[in-house]
Amino acid sequence: MTQAPEDFPPASPEQHPAAPAGANPPGPAPLVPGQRSAPEAPRAAAPGPVLPQAEGAETALPQAAPMPPMIEPTQPPSALPVEMAPPGMMHPGAPPLAPPGYGHPMPPGVPPGPIPVSAMPPWPGGPAGYYQPRPEPKRNHFVTLLVVVALVASSVFAGALVNGWRPFAGEAGTIEGLAVEPGEGTVPSPGPDATAAEVLAYLKEQAELVLGAQSESLVNGSLEGWLAAYDPTLHTQMTGRYESLHQMQVSRWDYQIASGPIEDASGAVPLYDISIALSYCFVEPADTCKAADIVFDTRWRADDAGMRMIEVSNSEFGEGPHPWEVTDLVAAVGERTVTAVPVAMEARLEEALAISEAAAENADQWAYWEKPDRYVIYIASDEEFDTWFGGMWDSEDVLGFALPLNGTVGGERQPSTYATVMGVDRTGWGEGLTSVIRHELGHAVTLWAAPSERYADDTWWMVEGVAEYIDHGDRALEDYDRMWDVRDYVAQGGCATDILPPDEDDDTLAGSGKYGCGFLGVHYMIDTYGVDKFAEFFGMTAREGTPAVDAAQTVYGADYAALMEEITAFIAQTV
């Protein structure tokens, strides 16, 4: 991640409230499209969040594998090179006239010098209390639904049995675009004496048919077919969503009903709540792409024209909402990236794509494990930055972040892809934005589809150091942006025997100094032992979860403590 003074991720998945015991019903569950059956699918390393389902229903989704811990945002140096400094900023070494960050002027009345860190969420590798506590986590909407669905289901069935099935009024109509006629499918249209189970089974299949037609319409470029799934009151909003996805060249859009339909008969016309799981990709072929999965809630009305959605909620659980859910975007597709910006930034899209493509070409040199199929890069103003993916970084000092996403890939739900978000109001459109994108794509390429990310004290310096190296490693050490910070931090006793993550006592100098130490540590290991050895070491530790003390013996035939002595001695000699 890229953050202006410091960089610490929000709560890792294991910190979310656990699902209540017994929430999963017995028996096999239907699969997300393309997912392998339970005997074939590997077991997740740790319990994951449970998607909503009615008690005893046949619409459950299997447990999702836990999302890997988020890497930290990148902290910019506390002093900027002359070419990156705002007008009037003095040469490094003189009292700074601007605070840490890429060119943001210092507010009046703020003295120069290190600025205390505030509101930085802790990273998951260390003890609680790093920086100010995070805001109370959002209530887990889907865990709540596990209880609500179980309670409501019985009343829904009872109500249906008492009131009977209310058939569609009038003759069967058609939906514009790809037609789905009421009664189409394999489940018979229920009559007035139908049981609740028959009614809900019929409605579920009808919703599946509508969703399937809509998916086909989107991928094949039919706006009319896409809108046919929605009530006219949603057409303006969903036209914007269609255009965003179409410009990003959506190539996979697979729906699965996660729970429902559940009737809400409190009004004059019964409505039906359905939770939907979605797997989607951009550009790459649907059968081979690295998908991202989301879950969101919808509300439907059934009438003589069939079933249509009248409400669509944004995804929340894990990593929502995705930018295309809440913002009208314009996008461009290059050889390696999909780059999207809000409509208001359309004039800068070509420039943004050029920066992204150059950063992707640079990152691809580090595809030692698995080459990303496509980097997805979103560029945000402050307004979008506070909304996309839940606005998880509540500090204005965060400049950008790379977010690991789970997806259904080859029939298996697993860590699959990355989304990267850049706050251009904070970086500007020059060298700052270029550096942030290079760093964040460094995280994406080194941790892409990592089977068991380890982000702890013994790997922090590698994860952030290699992202810094991917950004700065092609320059001379004396040109490294943080070198002044590392020199001052080491002079204060920093990085004397180890390189540890920033903590709550760190000011901007210490935070930037630790990032710089991580960079120099990676630089030393690559120069001394070779990039292949480092790639093997990084793969075993940061990607596969092996403690560094064990991996050091396997890869280098040396104690990890001895390697750290070499690294810290190099840092002291270099600065």
Q: Please report, for the domain that includes residue 353, its CATH number.
A: 3.30.2010.30
Going edge to edge, which strands form the sheet with 250-264?
250-264, 271-282, 292-303, 306-312
Does the residue 516 lie in any domain? yes
CA dihedral 361, 327, 253, 216 (to 10 degrees): -120
DSSP letter for each residue of 152-181: HHHHHHHHHHHH---PPSSS----SSS---
Does the residue 369 lie in any domain? yes
- Tens of pLDDT, residues 517-558: 999 999 999 999 999 999 999 999 999 999 999 999 999 999
| Segments of 169-246 assigned E as strands | none
Same domain, 466 and 553: yes
Q: Which of 449, 476, 503 is the last residue of a domain?
A: 449
Q: Smallest Cα–Cα separation from 446: which of 512, 516, 373, 542?
A: 542
How many domains, in total, are found in the chain?
Answer: 3
Does the residue 6 lie in any domain? no
Does the residue 331 lie in any domain? yes
Q: Which of 313, 334, 354 is the last residue of a domain?
A: 313
Domain at 297, CATH number: 3.10.450.50
Range among 181-195, 209-223, 394-408 with highest mean pLDDT value: 209-223
Same domain, 421 and 463: no
Same domain, 321 and 370: yes
Q: Which of 408, 425, 449 is the last residue of a domain?
A: 449
Same domain, 324 and 439: yes
Same domain, 400 and 470: no
Average of per-residue pLDDT across 139-156: 28
Same domain, 205 and 273: yes
Same domain, 258 and 236: yes
Residue 256 pLDDT more than 80? yes
What does residue 176 show for φ and ψ, rounded to 5 degrees?
-60, 160
Which residues form the domain of 505? 454-574
Does the residue 538 lie in any domain? yes
Same domain, 307 and 332: no
Residue 161 pLDDT more than 80? no
Same domain, 321 and 440: yes
Same domain, 267 and 346: no
- Tens of pLDDT, residues 459-508: 999 999 999 999 998 888 988 988 999 999 999 999 999 999 888 778 88
